[in-house]
Structure 1
Amino acid sequence: MLSQLRPCLVLFAFLMFVTGIVYPFAMTGGAQLLFPSSANGSLVVDNNVVRGSELIGQSFAADKYFWPRISAAGAGYDAGASSGANLGPTSKKLLDRIAADAQRLKAADGVSSLPADSVTSSGSGLDPDISPAYALIQASRIAKARGIPEDKVKALVEAQVKKPVLGIFGEPRVNVLELNRALDAVAPG
């Protein structure tokens, strides 16, 4: 029996060493060497202060900033509670929340219609991007709050639009954190 058990234990110890130590260290080291920014969370740093991540949305509530999508993650943009709302399209609770958010956003931005991403959350609840259409309807509110021409805000949005990958994968989008940082650089306020 010992002669049959010994090869199993040796193989188990070897595989534990390879898959539990060698492989993770090789992957971590390779990622740090080849993609250091991505491996460390794609952090956005200003003057040695971490402002956020390019990959995780965060809340901006002041009128002088672009607002992100609605978040269903925890109490809002809680990366530890990433999830969607899990409410179906016929859910009264979801429809009431969308109607209230739409009314609030229409009043804040002085518009009569909104793009879908302005009142819906992403699957993770942490989407860092918004559509260019949603960014552009916010331009009037931001220009007024900062005392700058609306055309300047719209030009900033257009300059920040990221096109679909290879021209076919995804939709045009704007990263809210990067857009707000560029806005602060152009018109501090």
Structure 2
Amino acid sequence: MSRFQASVRPYGVALRAMLVLTVGLGLLYPLVILGIGQTLFNKTANGSLVTVGDRAVGSSLIGQSFSDTDGNPLPQFFQPRPSAAGNGYDSSASGGSNFGPENADLIAAITKRKAEIAAFNNVDPASIPADALTASSSGLDPDISKEYALLQANRVAAARGIPLAQMQALVTDHIASRNLGFLGEETVNVLELNIALEQIGG
């Protein structure tokens, strides 16, 4: 092998390695992962969309507001927890308020929310759970606690003219258990609950 061949050989090896890695990791690997995702986890891979008929109405992973055009909560729907993401549940501005527990603005917001929720649901302010008063760290949380869902049942039942027992049973049917049976808390997906609510009418 000549001195010239010896000097250019490392470049040829590097070029071949780059081409192999580009095809393998930049093309084949993504296609394999895409295929696995679409085959085994189709719903999750496509955004966990929730559909009514043939129309997508949201994602089970991202919360949304149930309010009128002025931002007032609609009494005939279960309400989600507060959101600090943009104007509320804005996935392009995901994030919490980042206020500490002794922050004056956070304390004022919680006090205001407590009074508003108590009046809106006609309940004792002391009965309102923490998730109803505080935004999640992402601002996109689609779930509420079962306590908050059951607290709203009387108001939604009255707004729709549905017996309270039927409304409570609907909430109970939509309670998701703890992960692995012991991690986290029991939750209710607000979008899925409201879709079921629309299906029973009222």
> Does TM, normalized by the shorter one, top 0.5?
yes
Structure 1 position 176, deviation (Å): 0.4
Q: CA deviation at 1:159?
A: 1.2
Superposition map of 1:1-189 within 5 A? 1-61=7-67, 62-112=74-124, 113=126, 114-186=128-200, 188-189=201-202
Shift of residue 5, structure 1, vs aligned partner: 2.0
Q: Could you list the per-position Cα deviations for residues 144-165 of structure 1 after superposition, in whole angstroms to 9, with x for gaps in the alignment?
A: 1111222221111111111112
Deviations 1:11-63 (A, max 9, x none): 12221221111111110111101111111111111121111111111111211
Work out the percentage of aligned pairs sharing the same amino acid: 45
Runs of at least 5 residues in structure 2 that lack an aligned partner in the other structure: 1-6, 68-73
- TM-score, normalisation: structure 1: 0.94
> Which 4+ stretches in 1 moved above 2 angstroms?
none
Give the partner amino acid of 1:81. Answer: A
Q: 2:24 & 2:104 partners in 1: Cα distance?
A: 52
Provide the rounded CA distance (Å) in 1 between the counterparts of 2:8 and 2:97: 55
TM-score w.r.t. length of structure 2: 0.89
Looking at structure 2, the residues matched to 19 and 111 of structure 1 have their Cα atoms a distance apart, in angstroms, of 57
Which amino acid in the other structure matches residue 27 of structure 2?
Answer: I
> What SS does the corresponding residue of 1:174 show, helix, strand or coil?
strand
User: Aligned AA for 1:138?
Assistant: Q
AA in 1 matched with 2:121 = D
Tell me the amino acid that sits aligned with residue 143 of structure 2. Answer: D
Q: Structure 1: which 5+ residue stretches go unaligned? A: none
Between 90-99 and 50-59, the greater mean CA deviation after superposition: 90-99
Three-state SS of the structure 2 residue aligned to 1:130 is strand
User: Which structure has the larger Rg?
Assistant: 2
